[in-house]
Amino acid sequence: MTLTASVDTTLTQISAGTAPGAACSPDLVEKPWVFDLRAPGYGPGSSMGDVIPAGSPRQGALPAFYREADAAELDRRILAAKEALGDRLVILGHFYQRDEVLAYADYVGDSFQLATAARERTDAEAIVFCGVHFMAETADLLSTDEQSVILPNLAAGCSMADMANIDQVEECWEQLAELYGTEPDADGRVPVIPVTYMNSSAALKGFCGRNGGIVCTSSNAQTVLEWAFERGQRVLFFPDQHLGRNTAKAMGVPLDLMPMWNPNKPLGGNDASALKDSRVILWHGFCSVHKRFTVDQIAKARTEFPGVRVIVHPECPMPVVDAADESGSTDYIRKAIEAAPAGSTFAIGTEINLVQRLAAEHPEHTIFCLDPVICPCSTMYRIHPGYLAWVLDALLGGEVLNQITVSDEVALPARIALERMLAARPPVPTGV
């Protein structure tokens, strides 16, 4: 298929029959506000089959003006607001956003790069985060009290982050404390260290801060697990089982020492003995975007493009990571493509908006997504220029809409867990 810069354009062409290919849902050509009042789905895209927890934020109806305005009118309003607000506003755009939104971003990056940008721009009173809910929460944790973080569409959650909530994790923690006790061993290592992936609620980051734990990203998961193993006999890793398993396996942890914790079952569905012997307890969560990639897709890419370099994200299932040439975060993928000699061919296993953008930015390479079906992240899809224009017009009028605020009670320990991550460094090799 011919790759264009914009997934929206490709989807429209597929739907009109003017481009070959298939989308995972015909609803992807609908505007996101069609789904704002329709409970309880995440909307069309790869996580549409996952169940949204009852307490997750909902977006009310977007005012008719913004639903009916054409692209030129929205563009005019967004640019006018940016011009008028100047440095008082910063717009952050995640790699997985549609290009039609990223066109207005002052910074484009992964969740942590963007939260760091938020921290550095202390002059900006308003931080508009074009990403998903946990990212806006992290930006709020790292920004000052005077700054407001705004999520243009409150329905932009994250199905993986929603797979572990604070009540379930507290309940798991109590069961583990009953099983292991709380006393350190002879080496001073406590029974369990909790590790949460950045893709989790602030409440879970706070839980880690309160219980000697830490946050990790897909770029530093191994360093963070090393940090945790220095301090604990085992790790409770949530919410993404795949990142936890792929990282621990690469560090030499045997698979049979990585039981899975299902929050709906006593002891997570495990025997006490399996938990006692464990090194990493993996939460039963996953990313519905990365779950779509398969070993068969990799085999097909290798047959059709001999010499292809296959890079997948570590949120992919383990057999996919094992079959790929490399795995790494969005930033790793981007840098690997930038550093490759012209004429390279890449098959990439991550969100389609990023893959198509990389293909458009690097005409010197052949770059395609392993999944032949166009299936963007359902929750990233919920941000559209209509919502951006709506929140920016309100800001111009002095009103802050869709503000994401983390309570002090959660923010204080959550920042501790984030600071531990920032301070964690790979151990210095010995015997050199």
Binding residues for [4Fe-4S] cluster: 158, 287, 377
* Least spacing, CB of residue 101 vs ligand CIZ, in Å: 15
Give me the half-sphere count of Cα atoms (radius 13 Å) on the Cβ side of residue 293. Answer: 34
- The answer to whether residue 288 forms part of the interface with ligand CIZ (CB under 6 A) is no
Q: Which residue, 134 or 229, has its beta carbon nearer to ligand CIZ? A: 134
Binding residues for iminosuccinate, by number, are 94, 111, 197-199, 218, 313-315, 330
Please provide the DSSP assignment of 383-395 as one string: --HHHHHHHHHHH
Nearer to ligand CIZ, 148 or 327 (CB): 327
| Beta bridge partner(s), residue 130 | 93
Give the whole-angstrom CA distance, residue 55 versus residue 336.
Answer: 39
For ligand CIZ, which is the closer residue by CB, 129 or 390? 129
x/- letters, 317..336, toward ligand CIZ (CB under 6 A): ------------xxx-----
Q: Environment class of residue 63 by beta-carbon count within 10 Å: exposed (0-12), middle (13-18) or buried (19+)? A: middle
Q: How far is the CB of 314 from ligand CIZ (least distance, A)?
A: 8
Q: How far is the CB of 80 from ligand CIZ (least distance, A)?
A: 30
Q: Which residue from 47, 201, 218, 379 is in contact with ligand CIZ, where contact means CB under 6 A? A: 218
- Mark residues 44-83: x for contact with ligand CIZ by CB under 6 A, - for none: ----------------------------------------
Report DSSP letters for 22-68, one per residue.
EES-GGGGS-GGGGTTSTT---SSTTTTSPPPTTS----PPPHHHHH
Residues 221-260 close enough to bind ligand CIZ by CB under 6 A: none
Tell whether residue 353 is a contact of ligand CIZ (CB under 6 A): no
Nearest to 144 by CA among 119, 173, 112, 169: 119
Omega within 30 of 0 (cis) for the link into 239: yes
**Which lies closer to ligand CIZ via its Cβ, residue 95 or residue 368?**
95
How many residues of this chain bind ligand CIZ (CB under 6 A)?
11
- Examine residue 111 and tell whether it contacts ligand CIZ (CB under 6 A): yes
Residues annotated within the binding site are: 94, 111, 158, 197-199, 218, 287, 313-315, 330, 377
Q: How far is CA 259 from CA 58, 67, 266, 405, in A?
A: 34, 47, 13, 35
Nearer Cβ to ligand CIZ, position 69 or 164?
164
Least separation in angstroms between residue 272's CB and ligand CIZ is: 34
CA–CA distance, 297 with 32 (Å, rounded to integer): 30
Instruction: Give whichever of 198 and 389 is closer to ligand CIZ, judged by the CB atom.
Output: 198
What are the tokens at 274?
Answer: 């399996």
Which C-beta is closer to ligand CIZ: that of 199 or that of 402? 199
Helix (H) or strand (E) holding 356: helix 352-361
Applying CB under 6 A, the span of 39-47, 110-118, 237-245, 421-429 interacting with ligand CIZ comes to 110-118
Contact in structure between 51 and 40 (CB atoms under 8 Å):
yes
CB of 112 to ligand CIZ, least distance (A): 6
Write phi, then psi, for 149 (nearest 5 degrees).
Answer: -105, 130
- Considering only 110, 162, 371, 393, the residue that binds ligand CIZ (CB under 6 A) is 110
Q: Does 198 bind ligand CIZ (CB under 6 A)?
A: yes
Contact (CB, 8 A) for 180 and 192? yes
Q: Which of 138, 153, 217, 379 binds ligand CIZ (CB under 6 A)?
A: 217
How many C-beta neighbours within 10 Å does residue 230 have? 13
104 versus 129: smaller Cβ distance to ligand CIZ: 129
Task: Give min distance, CB of 350 to ligand CIZ, in A.
Answer: 7
Q: Of the candidates 56, 129, 38, 58, which has an alpha carbon nearest to the alpha carbon of residue 90?
A: 129
Distance in Å, CB of 94 to ligand CIZ, minimum: 6
DSSP codes, 178-234: HHH-S---TTS-EEEEEEEESSS-HHHHHHHHHTT-EEE-TTTHHHHHHHHHHHEEE
Bridge partners of 312? 327, 349
Q: Is 379 in the site for ligand CIZ (CB under 6 A)?
A: no
Residues that bind ligand CIZ (CB under 6 A): 110-112, 198-199, 217-218, 313, 329-331
